[in-house]
């Protein structure tokens, strides 16, 4: 039996994505084969395709950080949900496929009544926002945070999760997206404005935490918006890594050094760190299962509403990347294999 999956054979633009066909592998000990129902498209997939994330998977690889599917086969001697059970997983790669081999300990049961496409739209974005807000920054009810690119997928997750936790969110976005942010309880800051000036005009002149996916030199400005005892959390290098030449990479490295590393040497009571879900699992082994289950339960209860911008088949993965890069779609793009 054969299955289809999207492959990245070399560094490049969306045009390098290829729909490949291979023999369907069987799971080994500790693994489960999942028939994929939905897989989210993220900006991280684009950066991996462009080859600008250090330590990415060896090419050729199948992109896709999250998948929702049905357990098809369990490896020998493996404790896992039984065949037929619907599951969700966050993985380093492999989501853009009709079937995926997944480590059994990555699987979290999909709650009854939850739509697979909505779960895929939620899984990665809400999981990382949940971890950064509660495990990393530990923002308390009544706290105030600043989220950059707040109208995007992760930003929307921050708005909903912070609202549930009684946390006020200020967020940078385009003027066109301001009403969207207000509708979710956020307080928009026009991207054309100086966000530092706005923050310094707030009571106390600073916020408890800043969450910055922009990167580069932007990290240092975000750090300056944090109060004593607060934290600046970087979780992307979108601006610095948007290109692929040496100058872009150098800008990203300099920004990381100046905005994440050097502030640690300043005795001002502030913290800086770069969020990495995989590293957090090393220090908090139970966090992955707990936090993914938590956001899925919120979805089941109707307490959060991830936006699905468009569903597309696997053979349109390149168009999905182009749409995401050009911001042509508002909301999460989800790939739905034909076997679903």
Residue given tokens 């220090």 in the structure block: 283
pLDDT at 236 > cutoff 90: no
- First-to-last alpha carbon distance for the chain, in angstroms, is 16
Cis bond leading into 60, ω under 30°?
yes
A 10 A CB-CB count for 286 gives 8
Please report the pLDDT score of residue 330 as a whole number: 87
More confident residue, 259 or 311: 311
* Predicted confidence band of residue 263 (pLDDT cuts 50, 70, 90): low
Residue 184, helix vs strand vs coil: coil
Contact present, 118 and 111 (Cβ < 8 Å): no
> Could you report the per-residue pLDDT of 102-152, keeping only the tens digit for each?
999 999 999 999 999 999 999 999 999 999 999 999 999 999 999 999 999
Whether the pLDDT of residue 222 is over 80: the answer is yes
- pLDDT, tens digit, for every residue of 294-319? 999 999 999 999 999 999 999 999 99
Look at residue 258 and tell me whether its pLDDT is greater than 60: no
Q: Is the pLDDT of residue 52 over 80?
A: no
Can you tell me which residue has the tokens 């086969």? 73
- Percent of the chain surpassing pLDDT 70: 91
Asked whether residue 50 carries a pLDDT value surpassing 60, the answer given is: yes
**Averaged pLDDT for residues 89-110:** 98
- Give the global pTM: 0.93
């Amino acid at each position: 039996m054969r299955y289809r999956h999207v492959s990245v054979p070399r560094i490049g633009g969306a045009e390098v994505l290829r729909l490949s066909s291979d023999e369907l592998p069987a799971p080994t000990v500790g693994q489960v084969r999942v028939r994929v129902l939905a897989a989210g498209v993220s900006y991280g997939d684009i950066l991996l395709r462009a080859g600008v994330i250090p330590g990415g998977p060896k090419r050729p690889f199948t992109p896709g950080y999250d998948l929702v599917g049905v357990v098809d086969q369990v490896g020998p001697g493996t404790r896992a949900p039984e065949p037929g059970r619907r599951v969700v997983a966050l993985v380093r790669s492999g989501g853009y496929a009709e079937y995926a081999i997944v480590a059994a300990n990555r699987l979290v049961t999909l709650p009854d009544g939850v739509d697979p496409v909505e779960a895929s739209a939620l899984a990665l974005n809400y999981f990382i926002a949940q971890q950064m807000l509660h495990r990393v920054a530990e923002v308390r009810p009544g706290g105030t945070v600043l989220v950059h690119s707040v109208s995007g997928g992760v930003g929307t997750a921050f708005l909903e999760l912070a609202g549930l936790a009684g946390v006020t969110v200020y967020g940078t976005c385009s003027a066109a997206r301001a009403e969207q942010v207000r509708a979710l309880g956020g307080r928009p800051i026009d991207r054309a404005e100086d966000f530092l000036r706005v923050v310094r005009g707030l009571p106390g002149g600073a916020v408890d935490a800043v969450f910055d996916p922009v990167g580069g030199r932007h990290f240092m400005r975000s750090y300056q918006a944090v109060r004593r005892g607060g934290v600046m959390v970087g979780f992307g290098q979108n601006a610095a890594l948007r290109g692929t030449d040496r100058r872009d990479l150098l800008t990203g490295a300099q920004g990381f050094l100046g905005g994440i590393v050097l502030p640690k040497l300043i005795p001002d009571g502030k913290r800086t760190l770069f969020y990495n879900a995989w590293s957090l699992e090393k220090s908090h082994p139970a966090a992955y299962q707990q936090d993914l289950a938590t956001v899925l339960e919120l979805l089941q209860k109707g307490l959060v509403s991830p936006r699905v911008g468009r569903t597309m088949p696997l053979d349109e993965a390149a168009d999905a990347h182009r749409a995401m890069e050009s911001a042509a779609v508002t909301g999460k793009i989800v790939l739905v294999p034909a076997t679903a």
